[in-house]
Amino acid sequence: RGNEPDSPAWEAAVERANAARDALLMEICRTYGEAGLDAFAEAAEAFFGDVTYMEPRLVAMYDEVLPRLDRALGAPATTAAAR
């Protein structure tokens, strides 16, 4: 299957993501110089720090609200294990 970490499709997706990241960093350097790259790195660090802190809480909130949404939509209940 294409969504397995050891599949060729997964590896190709990782390569595309790496190429996109490299192109972004090169464009930041070209446009804003080293100071722009430093500013981007600081912003990315703040963002990913926040996401890492908030993500477990968000998953718990989703687990709480998804069954209610499913009931409201008349769909079979979604469980955390199904995700």
Model confidence pLDDT, tens digit, residues 12-39: 999 999 999 999 989 998 999 989 889 9
- Which residues does 56 contact at the CB level (< 8 Å), separation at least 6? none
**CA-to-CA distance for 48 and 18, rounded, in angstroms?**
17
Q: Model confidence at 51, in pLDDT bands (50, 70, 90)?
A: confident
Torsion, CA 35, CA 16, CA 80, CA 58, rounded to 10: 10
